Amino acid sequence: MKTHFRGWGIPGPVVPGTLGEGPEVEEGESLDALCGQYRMFQLKKGHRFSTDDVLTGWYGSTWCPRAETILDLGSGIGTVAMVAAWRLPGAKVVTVEAQEESVRLARKSVAYNGLGERFDVREGDLRDEEVLGAEEKFDLVLGSPPYFPLGSGPEGDHPQKVACRFEVRGTVADYCERAVKHMTRGGIFACVFPVAPVEQERRVEAGAKAAGMTIVRKRHIALRENERPLIGVFVMMRDEDLPEDQRGKTWEEPELIIRREDGSVHPEYAAVKMGFGFPP
């Protein structure tokens, strides 16, 4: 299950219209602070953006800070892409998402935040060869793949949640396969995925290898101090873009801890929050 920001010191719902005229909140929706001045439309009882999503956008844009073009695969309501877009204000963004409801919400958020000239929000299955042209290449590709095979656990009470958590339309390997086809020379693919149990992390490694990529950096994330990390963020590059002696080698960064044992925000995560537009 993806981990949410509730109670983590992130501002909650805001009054629509604070950035000027734009789409309004409809029945069953909320409009919530995401990063800096950006706001996201979400369903109150559907999929809501998570810590995992925000950290994916932060981590990818950290290690590709000069990206001019961004692709977000399986983009949901647009959280990952919008975080990256806030941090890389000159970049153009393409998102690909199969769920009609999520696409609708993403387009509302793009309009509300005045990002229409920077975003191309596409509806389609990321595995469909026609959703992206073969010639379309991106400096930074992002993804927050579903974590679990269908039937491996309780699937939730809303169809939007099911496809975000379970592999309805592709696995992490499918994300790697699609990403590598649309990366510029020297481009990177950044994603999030569970690291516990260890078999989950092995799936990321296998997906990268099958796609001809090396995980060049990774960082495990612990939700609380002295607890086992549950998720990790990963940065990959194509093997052909790396020197031969660097292929297959991964630099593992120290764990990122979200909260101390007493429940307060960990100082390092407070610094990370500043990196996507919130005070510590």
- Any idea what DSSP says for residue 74? T
Which pLDDT score is estimated for 215? Answer: 98
Q: How many residues does the chain have?
A: 280
Strand pairing class (251-259; 213-224): parallel
Cα distance between residue 4 and residue 210, in whole Å:
31
Number of Cβ within a 10 Å radius of residue 257: 21
User: Bridge partners of 9?
Assistant: none
Q: What is the pLDDT of residue 22?
A: 76
User: Which residues share a beta bridge with 188?
Assistant: 140
Residue 189's SS3 state is strand
Return the axis-axis angle of helices 79-87 and 51-63, rounded to nearest 10°: 40
pLDDT in tens, the chain (280 residues): 454 433 233 334 444 444 446 799 999 999 999 999 999 999 998 889 989 999 999 999 999 999 999 999 999 999 999 999 999 999 999 999 999 999 999 999 999 999 999 999 999 999 999 999 999 999 999 999 988 676 565 656 666 555 556 666 789 999 999 999 999 999 999 999 999 999 999 999 999 999 999 999 999 999 999 999 999 999 999 999 999 999 999 999 999 999 999 999 999 999 999 999 987 7
Domain ranges in the chain are 49-275
Instruction: Decide if 192 contacts 55 (C-beta within 8 A).
Output: yes
Count CA atoms closer than 13 A to 101's CA, side-chain side.
16
Report residue 112 CA to chain centroid gap: 20
Of 87, 105, 80, which is closest to residue 192 (Cα–Cα)? 80
Q: What is the pLDDT of residue 15?
A: 43
CA-based nearest residue to 189, from 59, 54, 3, 34: 59
Q: Domain 49-275: which CATH class? A: alpha beta
Tokens of 189: 């693919």
Tell me the C-alpha distance between 19 and 6, whole Å: 24
Decide if 92 contacts 83 (C-beta within 8 A). no
Q: Are 169 and 143 in contact (CB under 8 A)?
A: no
* pTM assigned to the model: 0.89
